[in-house]
Amino acid sequence: MGSDSAGVRIIESRVDLHHHRGILLTNPNQITRFSNMRIAFIGGGVMAQAIIAGVKDAGLDASIIVGEPFEARRESLKNDLGVEVTSNNREAVAGADIVVLSVKPQQLDTVAAELKTALKARQTVLSIMAGVKMHSIGLKLGHKKLVRVMPNTPAQIRKGISAWTASDDVDQATLDFVGSMLRAIGDELKFSDEKNIDIATALSGSGPGYVYVFIEALADVGVELGLSAHVARHLASQTVLGSAALQRESGKHPAELRNMVTSPGGTTAAGLAALENGGIRATIADAVRTAFERGEELAGGK
């Protein structure tokens, strides 16, 4: 386990590298075992389903119940994922060790009013609501043991990255379990400063959207130049996937890898010059800053 100046503990899963630029990474094949943790999900949407499936696939010792208002989704959760379901959120949290708030931020007030008197001091509340700070959650729930997680959509295929932090009141056993739970859906970074979660929301939380636009743009011009649509998408998506994997596994700086593929006067150099002339770096920076600022605006009302 290592840390950097930003106060982040880095643990990676499903990669062979154990050291990366002086940071010690834990053994991705080492799974800490826990004694039957009881997890209650409030809301059974896409991200909740991804986490539940990851926990089950990883073989973590946990029993799961989901509080979900929609009957069709309850049946799907019960039949497809083999979890307990209920329409009563207070019933869901009874006896739980970890309560996962997997609802939309605008639903927090309603859920908090329902759960405030049902939560016990020993329980840990884990939020995956984008932009909602722990202080706000704690005030609305009257609760101190809090974890805030910002996962991203590739968690659905166990390739996500989750940035998270926790209040000082959360015990080490629960922190260890949360880490294992998040590694079941990809990689995880634990920060000591909650502000880094807000930054990660704009970078990695919203990041898949930026990447999809890049893939779409690559594929579109491939079609314009004469490729079929499915071939162009395949070439574009695999290029992004392979390039990211090479950067991660080699540990090389992206600039070094860029230089390795760029021959003087060649096709890549010409294409990169067009990107630079078009202001690609400034546009990406503006996108992330704007997403961050919007997150702060939304959090201001919470």
String of DSSP letters for 14-50 = S-S-SEETTEE---TT-----S-EEEEEE--SHHHHH
| CATH number for region 2-200 | 3.40.50.720
Q: Give the pLDDT band of residue 302 (cuts 50, 70, 90).
A: low
pLDDT at 191: 97
pLDDT value at 242 more than 50: yes
Q: Give the pLDDT band of residue 25 (cuts 50, 70, 90).
A: very low
Q: Give the pLDDT band of residue 301 (cuts 50, 70, 90).
A: low
Q: Which two tokens stand for residue 30?
A: 């080492």
pLDDT at 299: 83
Dihedral pair phi/psi, residue 120, rounded to 5°: -105, 150
Q: Give per-residue burial for 168-179: e unless 16+ CB within 10 Å, then b.
A: eebeeebbebbb
CA atoms within 13 A of residue 257's CA, in its CB half-sphere: 13
User: In whole angstroms, what is the distance from residue 73 CA to residue 221 CA?
Assistant: 40
C-beta separation of 40 from 63 below 8 A = no
Task: Quote the mean pLDDT of the chain.
Answer: 90
Q: Give the pLDDT band of residue 36 (cuts 50, 70, 90).
A: confident
User: Could you tell me which of 278, 96, 128, 272 has the C-alpha nearest to residue 200?
Assistant: 128
What's the average model confidence in pLDDT over 43-70?
A: 97
pLDDT value at 21 more than 90: no
User: In whole angstroms, what is the distance from residue 92 CA to residue 112 CA?
Assistant: 14
Q: Which two tokens stand for residue 140?
A: 């609305």
Alpha carbon of residue 125 to chain centroid: 17
pLDDT value at 214 more than 90: yes
Q: Give the pLDDT band of residue 158 (cuts 50, 70, 90).
A: very high
Domains 2-200 and 207-299 share a fold: no
Residue 50 neighbours by CB under 8 Å, 6+ apart: 151, 155, 156, 160, 185
pLDDT at 268: 97
User: Could you tell me which of 188, 140, 142, 183 has the C-alpha nearest to residue 164?
Assistant: 188
**Where are the domains positioned within the chain?**
2-200, 207-299
Would you identify the CATH topology of the domain 207-299? ProC C-terminal domain-like fold (1.10.3730)
Return the percentage of the chain with pLDDT > 90, whole number: 86
Q: Give the pLDDT band of residue 298 (cuts 50, 70, 90).
A: confident
